[in-house]
Chains A and B, each alone.
Chain A
Amino acid sequence: MESDEVEEMRWVPLSKRPEWSDVTPVPQDDGPNPVVPIDYKPDFAETMDYFRAIYVADERSSRALNLTAEAISFNPGNYTVWYFRRLVLEALDIDLQVELDYIDNIAKNNSKNYQIWHHRRWVAEKLGTDAADKELEFTKKILSADAKHYHAWSHRQWVLLALGGWEDELDYCRELLEADIFNNSAWNQRYFVITRSPLLGGLEAMRESEVSYTVEAILAHPENESPWRYLRGLYKGNTQSWVNDHQVSLLCLRVLNAKSNFVFALSTLLDLLCHGLQPSQEAKDVVAALEMSGTDEPDSDLATSICFILEHVDPIRANYWRWRKSKLPHAT
């Protein structure tokens, strides 16, 4: 780096800047005997002293706007600075598209910060539907670095509901799931899209294609918790159709036949039985083939056998599986 570039980047104390010479900085008041006294770095301290002066004077000027940016760069979590920045933005009637660019920049290193997301939403709300594309791009960028980023997903859902942009969302979910089929956030978003998108037909209309998609995902990785829950969700409000859909029970049997990563397949089969599924001979055989010595009891019904197996293959949740067994209706 050239020395004059270094020169430019060196922070100049506010007390030395001519444009701030009319302002008296206000020091932090931690009270007479501060419980939690904090020793601040001098440049941070001075910036906050000047911010306090502007805040107390309620000066909503462009130098105030710049000062909030400086304060935010020291501590982006300081929500009072963000509040004041919004007041200044409103007073100066600043082009909010520029503000979105500003947030883009600082979000790079501070994406887990609640204030940035809330500020972003406030700006986007003011810009209205014009902001939809930019907001979807922004969240996409954050998600490309962290595909399960809770704030980004929350913001993205808000954008879709408030500003629109549903066209490519199902494709986006597919893309993310191709990258990581275990991404629970992407599965959640997929459900969000198929149930709420004004461009699709709703859950009932989407069910068949979604079941195929989900079955494929499960067969690839039967140990993946998310698609099993998603599959169940596809039959929301219609448990009987879930029980009666042969695809579901056949899926369980296919996984069980492979004899690996079958915990969720077993628990799903258990749920089906508890909701009235009549087990086929094939189902009984495939479960019998799984049983380890010492876990089978003579004359156990299928559901009880499944509980026994689960207690042993998922021991950390043994108490849960024992409880499930205790809840099984037993024929007299």
Chain B
Amino acid sequence: MGGLAAEKHIQYILTVEKRKDDFVSVVMEHLRMSGAYWGLTTLDLLEKLDTVDVDEVVSWVMNCQHESGGFGGNIGHDPHILYTLSAVQVLALFDKLNVLDIDKVTNYVAGLQNGDGSFSGDIWGEVDTRFSYIAICCLSILRCLNKINVEKAVSYIISCKNLDGGFGCTPGGESHAGQIFCCVAALSLTGSLHHIDKDLLGWWLCERQVKSGGLNGRPEKLPDVCYSWWVLSSLIMIDRVHWINKEKLVKYILDCQDLENGGISDRPDDAVDVYHTYFGVAGLSLLEYPGLKAIDPAYALPVNVVNRIFFGR
């Protein structure tokens, strides 16, 4: 088994965004902002962010912002908390957070907090612990966590804790690795990890590793490369990552590469996409695979970017 085909993945990302006549591009149009975050963060982890034109990206990102301060998934799309975080993360990658009217963005995000501490995705009111993480991560990057009621935000997240130690999307919702990542990261960013039974959750998380070495997101489900991020970063944040077999996971991720055309898929031999390429590379970074920049498990941004935000200048 060869290693990480970094060059191939770089080429894959650079060309996929420019691809024409592509059905996938067409139906991904409305979430282009998240696609940009996945692609650009991967390039940065592979130390190739400089192949992209900063000004073009920044100008396009800012064109996606609305009067309300929120960002849409693409030009002409309504604002949503998902794309607001992606936009802020993309700007952070390029060290361009200074182009933002911080008050405008943070007021939009803070305005989405509900009375019970939960967050809605947008004005239409969908509630999900994903949005709790997104709000907290975004405000933390912009140093404005004080604009929300952190205590209530934390208590809402805790109300979504299940008996297996995991978290669901809403109270009573089944524990799912993606939701767990969101809750653990949100608690981490608000200094509230003491609410988690780390041993219990750590065990649930390490039980996600199946024979092939890959990780699933719930009991009795198939492994998927994206869980290399959700499960792994959660384990790192609660300091239990040594409970999984790292070598087997590395091998699983590498097996999911398309060595000919570049890109990474959910499972070996499936079709690749930017989403799984990002999570595969990010997972390898968490596993300290050589040649990759370190990534912060809570902010999901390269460590040097996070350091620049909090300690730079």
Binding site for B on A (CB under 8 A): 28-41, 44, 52, 74-75, 77-80, 83, 86, 114, 118, 121-122, 148, 150, 153-154, 157-158, 161, 182-185, 188-189, 191-192, 195-196, 224-226, 229, 232-233, 236, 315-320, 323
Contacts and interface: CB of A to CB of B under 8 A. Distances in A.
Contacts of B77: 78-80
Contacts of B28: 77
A277 to B, nearest CB: 18
Contacts of A30: 60, 75
22 contacts: A35-B17, A35-B53, A35-B56, A36-B17, A36-B32, A36-B36, A36-B60, A38-B20, A39-B22, A39-B25, A41-B26, A77-B27, A77-B28, A79-B30, A150-B174, A153-B174, A184-B174, A188-B175, A225-B219, A316-B211, A316-B213, A318-B245
Contacts of A196: 172
Nearest to A153: B174
A118 B206 contact: no
B20 A185 contact: no
A28 B220 contact: no
A86 to B, nearest CB: 7
Interface centre among A30, A37, A188 (most CB of B within 10 A): A188
Interface stretch (B4-12, B162-170, B302-310): B162-170
A191 B220 CA distance: 18
Contacts of A225: 207, 219-220
Contacts of B218: 148, 184-185
Chain B interface size band reads 35 or more
Given A150-B174, A229-B163, A37 B75 contact: no
Given A39-B21, A80-B72, A319-B244, 8 more contacts: A28-B75, A29-B75, A34-B60, A37-B20, A39-B20, A185-B174, A233-B163, A317-B243
Contacts of A232: 163
The main secondary structure of chain B at its interface with chain A is: loop
Nearest to A233: B163
A77 B124 contact: no
Contacts of A41: 21, 26
B152 interface: no
Nearest to B249: A316
Which 10 residue pairs are nearest across A and B when measured between Cβ atoms? Answer: A39-B20, A233-B163, A188-B174, A320-B243, A184-B219, A225-B219, A182-B220, A78-B30, A80-B77, A36-B17
